[in-house]
């Protein structure tokens, strides 16, 4: 978009981001799930002007976002220029997303069941909306206290996480929905330790498994099977390092011989150790979600490298 139009577009965006823009949210027992932005995008998708001209993209797709898409745009820097560039440079991603979007009707009832289950597991749970929209092929999803925001095109192409599209959507969104509940997940800290990040993510994996029957990242469990003691001993030695500079978190798909985000798996095992030894399981779920002191939680968990779980 031309710079002179930017302020006018942002003002229109704020006015357009009203509850009326998300009118397709389903009536559910606990959570609203909005997919109107996906439907609207693919009604426009075949027009080549969408990728060629950011102003057209702004006026026709981004000018009337759901409230969730407006928040997602702010969180993940989705602008008309960046989205148009992604459409031009990654056409296969968006074409694949069109096919994948047809599975959202199967995803919705399973997410309703998962969030209903969360209400049973954790009565203090909050239920802000889930928004599934089209982003710029850079982020599969993010959650905060206001909701969960999913980039359909990115999660559709993330088959390395889990091959089945419907299962992947349900399990990853459940994981992100646990982050909505976690106090530690509401505070971004670029200097956070490996331990803190692993326990926040591992707690989300553990609770998501109880919501849906599976963790969001099963490939990590498959890869680590039989190597538990070796891996967890290494984790313990590196737990106080900076997460962003480590081999345990936020390293995308990892490198040959070492998968990305392996800290999710370690954190899951610490959470499971805590849960398994707790006499009151509902209180254990509460403690796992509401954890505020990762070092104290680790000490109380009874976890040791390589233990049988």
Report percent pLDDT > 70 for the chain: 91
Q: What are phi and psi of 170, to 5 degrees?
A: -65, -45
Residue ranges of the domains in the chain?
Answer: 13-181, 192-301
What six digits make up the tokens of 152?
């359909």
Distance CA 184, CA 180 (A): 10
pTM: 0.89
Among 21-25, 109-113, 138-142, 240-244, name the one with the lowest average pLDDT: 21-25
- Alpha carbon distances (Å) from 273 to 266, 300, 302: 11, 9, 6
Tell me what the mean pLDDT of segment 175-183 comes to: 97
What is the pLDDT, as a whole number, of residue 255?
83
Model confidence pLDDT, tens digit, residues 131-154: 999 999 998 989 888 999 999 999
Place of tokens 């969180």: 75
Closest listed residue to residue 265, CA positions, set 249, 287, 244: 249
Distance CA 82, CA 1 (A): 9
Closest listed residue to residue 175, CA positions, set 292, 113, 264: 264
Q: How confident is residue 29, by pLDDT bands cut at 50, 70 and 90?
A: low
Residues 6+ apart with CB under 8 A from 272: 206, 309
What is the pLDDT, as a whole number, of residue 15?
40
CB neighbours (10 Å) of residue 32?
Answer: 18
Q: At what angle do helices 281-289 and 194-212 cross, to 10 degrees?
A: 130
Model confidence pLDDT, tens digit, residues 189-237: 889 999 999 999 999 999 999 999 999 999 999 999 999 999 999 999 9
């Amino acid at each position: 978009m031309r710079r002179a139009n930017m302020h006018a577009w942002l003002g229109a965006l704020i006015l357009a981001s009203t509850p009326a823009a998300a009118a397709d949210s389903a009536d559910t027992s606990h959570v609203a799930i909005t997919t109107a932005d996906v439907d609207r995008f693919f009604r426009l998708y075949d027009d080549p002007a969408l990728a060629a001209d950011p102003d057209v993209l702004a006026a026709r797709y981004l000018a009337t976002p759901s409230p969730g898409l407006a928040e997602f745009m702010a969180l993940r820097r989705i602008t008309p220029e960046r989205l148009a560039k992604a459409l031009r440079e990654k056409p296969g991603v968006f074409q694949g997303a069109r096919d994948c979007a047809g599975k959202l009707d199967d995803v919705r009832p399973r997410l309703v069941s998962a969030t209903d289950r969360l209400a049973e597991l954790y009565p203090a749970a909050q239920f802000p909306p889930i928004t599934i929209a089209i982003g710029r092929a850079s982020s599969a999803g993010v959650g905060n206290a206001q909701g969960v925001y999913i980039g359909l095109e990115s999660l559709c192409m993330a088959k390395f996480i889990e091959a089945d599209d419907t299962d992947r959507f349900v399990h990853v969104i459940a994981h992100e929905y646990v982050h909505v509940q976690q106090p530690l997940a509401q505070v971004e800290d670029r200097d956070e330790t490996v331990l803190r990040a692993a326990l926040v993510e591992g707690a989300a994996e553990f609770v998501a498994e109880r919501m849906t029957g599976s963790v969001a990242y099963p490939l990590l469990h498959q890869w680590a099977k039989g190597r538990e003691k070796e891996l967890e001993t290494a984790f313990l030695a590196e737990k106080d390092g900076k997460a962003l500079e480590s081999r345990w978190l936020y390293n995308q798909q990892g490198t040959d011989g070492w998968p990305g985000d392996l800290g999710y798996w370690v954190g899951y095992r610490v959470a499971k150790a805590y849960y398994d030894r707790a006499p009151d399981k509902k209180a254990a779920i509460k403690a796992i979600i509401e954890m505020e002191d990762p070092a104290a939680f680790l000490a109380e968990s009874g976890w040791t490298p390589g233990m049988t779980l």
